[in-house]
Amino acid sequence: MNRRFFLFALMLTMPLGACGSGGTVPGDSEDRVPFHAIAEDEAVKVTGTEPFWGGEISGGHFTYTTPDNQSGVDVPVSRFAGRGGLSFSGDLEGKALTLAITPGECSDGMSDRKYPFVVTLRLGDELRHGCGWTRRQSWSGGE
User: How much is the average pLDDT of 50-62?
Assistant: 96
Look at residue 14 in the predicted model and tell me its pLDDT. Answer: 43
- Binning pLDDT at 50, 70 and 90, where does residue 22 land? very low
pTM, two decimal places: 0.78
Residue 4 has pLDDT above 80, yes or no: no
Closest CA to 76 of 109, 99, 47: 99
Q: Which of 14-18, 27-31, 63-67, 117-121 is predicted with the least confidence, judged by mean pLDDT?
A: 14-18
Strand (E) positions, 2-139? 44-48, 53-58, 61-66, 69-81, 86-92, 95-106, 115-123, 126-134
Closest CA to 35 of 121, 129, 138, 117: 117
Residue 40 neighbours by CB under 8 Å, 6+ apart: 79
Look at residue 83 in the predicted model and tell me its pLDDT. Answer: 86
User: How much is the average pLDDT of 62-73?
Assistant: 97
